[in-house]
Amino acid sequence: MYYFVVNPVSGCGRGKNIWKGLRKALDRRGVCYESFVLRHPGEAREIAARLCTLRRPLTLIVVGGDGTINEVVSGLSACAHITFGCIPTGSGNDFVRGLGLAKDPSAALDAILHPQTIRSIKLGTIRGDGFARSFAVSCGIGFDAAVCSEVNRSRVKDLLNWFRLGKLVYTGIALRQLAASRFSSMTLVLDDGRSLSYDRVFFAAVMNMAYEGGGFRFAPDQRPEDDTFTLCIAEGISRLRVLSLLPLALLGRHVGRRGVHLIPCRSVTLQADGARFVHTDGETPGTSRTLTVQAHTDLLRVITR
């Protein structure tokens, strides 16, 4: 049985139009399916939680972007009986980019209905001050999370998405946050017992895939099948140097530069000197001083081709 979770406002309304075409294709092929067209934030998480209780094999497909995927995986308490698919309609689509999924809706639907390749990937879980979420792509604290928070509240994003220029919003807000964001003293406790302390951390991101933020290749070698995450930290560098490193990060050429650290870990606890914005797959559940990250107990089977 196929279950479609559809975000109609994803991509500034592209989700609604794409779903109309997909629904016609499904009906024409005589596919047995059930669809859920989202009406309010948090609904995708509730739907995923209900589907987990069925305890029988099913295919769960998100028609949406990274934010919708994040809501769905945050609702999954058990993944063993679920096969996951994605038909992208968002502006960032780092999940699709990280797994090399089809971007064209028709090609993505064909892959889901006739899967050739399925990859079992890990999910991450985080616990902050008063919230717990899961993530598929990445989570972070500091600058990148502050950018996500402002982007998600920006009305300009919807306007530019009409013209497929959503990345300009990220660029403009990133420049503004570059001037406004505060450096933070931070202590990291890794799963192997190491404790690392830094005085001027600009951001720390725990990467499950290579990309975040709409295409920044912060962890070039990270694969979601790996049993470790990549902890990417930018610390002890000036704002001007951060500005020079961001274009390099689009190509993954920031690796090895002064002040940039990529640390493999299975779990990590991050303790900042004050509450900072947190993001999971670009969504911002709140601010936190402490963040604990580890892998979900189950792997998620994802249709890739």
Q: Tell whether 202 is covered by a domain.
A: yes
Same domain, 40 and 80: yes
Q: Tell whether 218 is covered by a domain.
A: yes
Predicted confidence band of residue 150 (pLDDT cuts 50, 70, 90): confident
Domain with 223 in it: 125-296
Classify 208 as helix, strand or coil: coil
Same domain, 284 and 192: yes
Same domain, 220 and 129: yes
Specify the pTM. 0.92
Q: Tell whether 190 is covered by a domain.
A: yes
Classify 185 as helix, strand or coil: strand
What amino acid is encoded at 107 in this protein? Answer: A
**Total structural domains in the chain?**
2
Q: Among residues 93, 115, 114, which one has the least CA distance to residue 104?
A: 93
Same domain, 164 and 114: no
Q: Quote the tokens at residue 234.
A: 């930018």
State how far the Cα of 244 lies from the Cα of 257, in Å rounded to an integer. Answer: 11
Q: Quote the tokens at residue 51.
A: 């589907």
Q: Tell me the per-residue pLDDT of 76-102, one tens digit each, with 9 for 90 and over.
A: 998 989 999 999 998 789 999 999 999
Q: DSSP letter at 212?
A: B
Same domain, 133 and 63: no
The overall average pLDDT reported for the chain is 91
**Helical spans, DSSP H, in the chain:** 10-29, 43-52, 66-74, 94-99, 105-113, 143-153, 155-161, 167-180, 239-250
Q: Tell me the per-residue pLDDT of 236-287, one tens digit each, with 9 for 90 and over.
A: 999 889 888 988 999 999 999 999 999 999 999 999 999 999 999 999 999 9
Same domain, 175 and 248: yes
The alpha carbon of residue 177 and the mean position of all alpha carbons in its chain are separated, in whole angstroms, by: 20
Q: Tell whether 304 is covered by a domain.
A: no
State how far the Cα of 127 lies from the Cα of 269, in Å rounded to an integer. Answer: 9
3-class secondary structure for 277-299? Answer: EEEECCEEEEEEEEEEEEEEEEE
